[in-house]
Structure 1
Amino acid sequence: MHIVLSTYRSSLEDALVDRGQNVLAIVPTAILEQRTTQAGARYQVRSVKSWDDSGQLARIAGDLRAQSVASVDTTDEQCLRAAALLRSMLHVDGQSRIQALRATDKAVMKDALNRAGLPIARHQRIAAVADAAPAARDLGWPLVIKPRRGFGTLGTSVISSHAELGKLLSTGAFNGLNIPNGLQASGMHLAMDAIPGGLLVEEFIDASAEYHVEVLRWRGEEVYAIPGRYPAPLLGTDTFGAVLLPPGTEHDELIALARAAADALDLETGFAHVEVLRARDDSLLIGEIGLRPGGSQVPRLLELQHGIDVPAVAADLATGQRPSVTLASSPGTIAWAAAVTPRGRITAMTPAEDILTLPGVIAATSDLTLGQLAGGALGSVALGTHVYARGATAELAERNAVAALRAWHITVAPR
């Protein structure tokens, strides 16, 4: 049996079942009914109220000890620690608890990167949002405050001054997030001071660009290391996406830094998603590293550009096989762009068919339907429309994707 911990995607479960494997999915209790219906008779589904509920995880492990468990896997960052705990209880090989902690606790992660001599932003642990003010005496304003176990920029804020911090505290800006039910098992819906794992405050890096590098290793051997660039630094933008970078100077220095970050977290087998900032003085700093595939539509971008099937690769890892990856060469460069839909009920939307006629566009998909209630901005998690475009260069591909995205008009009636 393969145990898969997952929140909002069933791609790994589906890939394993398609190979004839016996699968048990563990999902948040809030979406148990939905995921059970989705699974049908293909695989079993159990649930936990919180990914940090060690007692409930221990009960599940106790129920499974009499069965032959081949692997415990996840591709979701918020599930990494729970998956590692289950592995230790069931004596199954894979990512260890200390590796999972380093990959999900930003303070522990940055300690590991710092010990390896890698460039990172100055930072401090804090117990409460109000503690950011004394931390600013060392770090300066503006500063960034975030949950140590956060993901998708949820709960992350850039605060410009002591006065702004006071205003945000007085207006209840840190009293909790309205997030989808399936994400509440992470604790990210709680008030900032109550989120499990505590908080981190760090100096704000005025970045001219932000990058990501997708890494896959198998028993110490690098299968691929593929760098990309976001359309804009993630903090403060309303346009998300990525373009994969062709070989060159920038390409090589990003890969070198990502390899060093993966080494710092002792990655031998599995995925890494490394985020890198370029400061205004042209220096590079590691923002974060996650030991999981890139999120949102990054797997789709890898498939379009290089023919990489990320769920199939994850299934290879789960079944103990060397990932079968041959990097295809697609003409030109492909970029992905996505936008957050304003809050409200959707009353009008440009058809995806119209977007497909625009220059360079090769695919256009939407998570939205007319009449649906859109939740508005939610970090890089809640996105509405996605465009994929090709160009002769990375810059042209990105320009085509962003231009097509801007042409995708959505009208909402305020809630």
Structure 2
Amino acid sequence: MLVVLSALRSHLEDLLTERGQQILVVVPPAVQADRQAHGVPYPMLTVAAWDDRRELSVLAHELAALPVESVVTTDEPCLRAAAILRERLGLPGQSEESATAATDKHIQKDVLTAAGVPVAWHVPLDSVADIESVAELLGWPVVVKPRRGFAAIGTLLVRDQAHLDRLRASDAFGPQALPASLHASGIHRGLDHASGGLIAEEGIDVLAEFHCEILRHHGREVYAVPGRYPEPLLGTGVLGSVLLGPDDDHAQQVIDLARDAADALQLVTGFAHAEILLARSGDLLVGEIGLRPGGAMLPHLLKLQHGINPWALAADLAMGLTPQADLRSSGPTAAWAAPIAPPGWITDMDSAEVLRKLPGVIDVDQLVHVGQQSPTRVGTLTPAGHVFAVGDTAEQAENRAHQAATAWQITARNLPPNELRPVR
């Protein structure tokens, strides 16, 4: 039996079920209720908080009576819990020490610094009350984030003292109205009560932000694919990515730095998603690295560009199989862009077919519809949809995806509409 810890996405357990594997899925109560409503075929157990050691001990005792072969996950909030369960059950896999370095941003940056991997100057915080004193040390602006955060949720760039005062007045550091499915991570408590504490970093003047998707198997690199976000993630209203070829000026440097970061975290088997910052000074720094597949639509972009299916490869790893990937070396470049719906109740919007007629667009995934309330922006999650485009160069593909996403007309108003206009 394979035990899958799942917080955000069900790709791994869905694929394992399709392959006929016997699985037991551990989820938060809200996720269990949602999946039961959809009639999933596998049994589930629940965990209310991924960092509650007492709850994990009870779960480990329950699992000890079962024929559990391995404990696996592809979700960052679950990495440490999965490692704790493995060690309690005497199973192989990522250790708690490695999982902690992968999920605690302060420990991670200390590990990277000790290995000679460049990162921003940083210090741990006991509370948001320490931001002024930290700013005296690091200088304004400072970036404040939860040490165990993910998807940029709760991450704030504090520009100066006046900005800090405004953030306090608006209760920006307090609890956040997040979906119940995220509560098991504790991220909804806000920076005032962040599980695991806070970290402050110097505010880097970022010109561009890159990422690198890595998979290793027993020390062998299966792939290392660099990409670039359309804008630095912190504070952007545009989500997306374009994958980079070997002719890009920064591609090899991004790969090398991501490899160094993965080495520092002792990644032997598994995934890594590294985010690399290009500072105005010209220096490249590791922003963060997660030991899991990239989020949002990065796996789909890898499939479009290179024929790589990270979820299928994750299922291979879970089943003890050797993952294989043959990257495509020719063909057009693919890019992805994700528009954010305006706040309110959606009264009118272009259909996906309108966007599919635009130059270079090859795929559109519409997530919201007329009559629905537009989803609240949650870090880098919950866009209105996804647009994929191709081009002869990375720049052309990126421009086409961005132009299509920008052209997606979505109208919303504050109150639920009495009369809805049809989709055009």
Question: Which residue in the other structure is 1:35 paired with?
Answer: 35
Amino acid at match of 1:32: Q
Distance 1:344 1:55 in 2: 41
Distance 2:155 2:8 in 1: 21
Q: CA deviation at 1:196?
A: 0.6
Q: CA deviation at 1:171?
A: 2.7
Question: Which residue in the other structure is 2:263 paired with?
Answer: 263
Matched, 1:166 2:165: yes
**1:61 is paired with a residue of what secondary structure?**
helix
Q: CA deviation at 1:191?
A: 3.1
Question: Which residue in the other structure is 1:285 paired with?
Answer: 285
Q: CA deviation at 1:66?
A: 2.2
Distance 1:37 1:279 in 2: 47
Question: Which residue in the other structure is 1:373 paired with?
Answer: 373
Matched, 1:94 2:93: yes
TM-score, normalised with respect to structure 1: 0.97
Amino acid at match of 1:173: A
**2:386 is paired with a residue of what secondary structure?**
strand
Question: Which residue in the other structure is 1:407 paired with?
Answer: 407
Question: Which residue in the other structure is 1:76 paired with?
Answer: 75
Deviation larger for 242-251 or 115-124 = 242-251
What are the equivalent positions in structure 2 for 1:7-156 lying under 5 Å apart? 7-40=7-40, 42-156=41-155
Distance 1:17 1:152 in 2: 27
8 Å CA contact retained: 2:222, 2:324:
no
Question: Which residue in the other structure is 2:233 paired with?
Answer: 234
Deviation larger for 305-314 or 248-257 = 248-257
Q: CA deviation at 1:330?
A: 5.4
**1:144 is paired with a residue of what secondary structure?**
strand
Q: CA deviation at 1:27?
A: 0.9
Distance 1:181 1:159 in 2: 28
Amino acid at match of 1:298: L
Q: CA deviation at 1:12?
A: 0.3
Question: Which residue in the other structure is 1:298 paired with?
Answer: 298
Distance 2:301 2:330 in 1: 11
8 Å CA contact retained: 1:366, 1:385:
yes
Matched, 1:389 2:383: no
Question: Which residue in the other structure is 1:343 paired with?
Answer: 343
Q: Residue by residue, what CA displacement relative to the aligned partner does 1:168-189 show, whole Å, maximum 9, x if unpaired?
A: 1133121111111111111111
Distance 1:380 1:171 in 2: 21
Amino acid at match of 1:310: P
8 Å CA contact retained: 1:127, 1:193:
no
Distance 1:367 1:355 in 2: 14
8 Å CA contact retained: 1:340, 1:376:
no
**1:374 is paired with a residue of what secondary structure?**
coil
Q: Residue by residue, what CA displacement relative to the aligned partner does 1:140-168 show, whole Å, maximum 9, x if unpaired?
A: 00111000111111001111111211221
**1:314 is paired with a residue of what secondary structure?**
helix
**1:286 is paired with a residue of what secondary structure?**
strand
Distance 1:119 1:31 in 2: 38
Calculate the aligned-residue CA RMSD, in Å: 1.2
Distance 1:181 1:369 in 2: 22
Distance 2:122 2:37 in 1: 44
Q: CA deviation at 1:39?
A: 4.8
**1:102 is paired with a residue of what secondary structure?**
helix
Amino acid at match of 1:104: T
8 Å CA contact retained: 2:49, 2:184:
yes
What are the equivalent positions in structure 2 for 1:201-212 lying under 5 Å apart? 201-212=200-211
Distance 2:270 2:38 in 1: 27
5+ long unaligned stretches in structure 1: none
Amino acid at match of 1:392: D
Distance 2:8 2:151 in 1: 13
Question: Which residue in the other structure is 1:250 paired with?
Answer: 250
Deviation larger for 299-308 or 340-349 = 340-349
Matched, 1:354 2:367: no
Distance 2:80 2:340 in 1: 29
8 Å CA contact retained: 1:210, 1:277:
yes
8 Å CA contact retained: 1:36, 1:45:
no
8 Å CA contact retained: 2:147, 2:199:
yes
Distance 2:384 2:360 in 1: 20
Distance 1:92 1:101 in 2: 18
Distance 2:100 2:289 in 1: 12
Question: Which residue in the other structure is 1:3 paired with?
Answer: 3
Amino acid at match of 1:402: H
Distance 1:27 1:375 in 2: 22
**1:189 is paired with a residue of what secondary structure?**
helix
Q: CA deviation at 1:8?
A: 2.9
**2:133 is paired with a residue of what secondary structure?**
helix
8 Å CA contact retained: 1:70, 1:319:
no
Distance 1:38 1:327 in 2: 35
5+ long unaligned stretches in structure 2: 416-424
Question: Which residue in the other structure is 2:191 paired with?
Answer: 192
Distance 1:178 1:375 in 2: 12
Question: Which residue in the other structure is 2:223 paired with?
Answer: 224
Distance 2:170 2:390 in 1: 45
8 Å CA contact retained: 1:342, 1:377:
no
Q: CA deviation at 1:74?
A: 0.9
**1:377 is paired with a residue of what secondary structure?**
coil
Distance 2:190 2:9 in 1: 26
Distance 1:187 1:376 in 2: 18
**1:154 is paired with a residue of what secondary structure?**
coil
8 Å CA contact retained: 1:305, 1:329:
no
Distance 2:369 2:90 in 1: 45
**1:138 is paired with a residue of what secondary structure?**
helix
Distance 1:32 1:224 in 2: 34
Count residues with an aligned counterpart: 414
Distance 1:287 1:9 in 2: 24
Amino acid at match of 1:106: K
